[in-house]
Amino acid sequence: MFPLARNALRRLKIQSIQHMVARHCHQKHSPDFHDKYGNAILASGVAFCFCSGIYLVTQTGIQWNLSPVGRVIPKEWREK
């Protein structure tokens, strides 16, 4: 009798979980903040970073020494 009752309880729990999942799937999803504004915030962040990078490269006057080839001059050797 005990295994039969335990099996019946398991089936009831599984069925109740399945009913809850089915009810949850059929509910209408109301849009939250991320659904409404997520892509706009992402696009504005990308645009801000891109524009900041362009400004940094073109307007700040930093000399970009990308390659030291031809610029490095060895010091002369001095003996005492």
Express each pLDDT in 56-66 by its tens digit: 888 887 777 67
Residue 67 lies in a domain: no
Residue 46 lies in a domain: yes
Residue 74 lies in a domain: no
Residue 52 lies in a domain: yes
| Cα gap 76→80, rounded to integer Å | 13
Q: Which residues contact 71 (CB under 8 A, 6 or more apart)?
A: 65
Number of domains in the chain: 1
| Cα gap 71→55, rounded to integer Å | 27
pTM of the model: 0.45
As a whole number, mean pLDDT of residues 60-73 equals 72
| Cα gap 27→29, rounded to integer Å | 6
The domain in which residue 15 lies consists of 2-59
Residue 76 lies in a domain: no
pLDDT tens-digit series, residues 16-57: 776 766 666 666 677 888 889 999 999 999 999 999 999 988
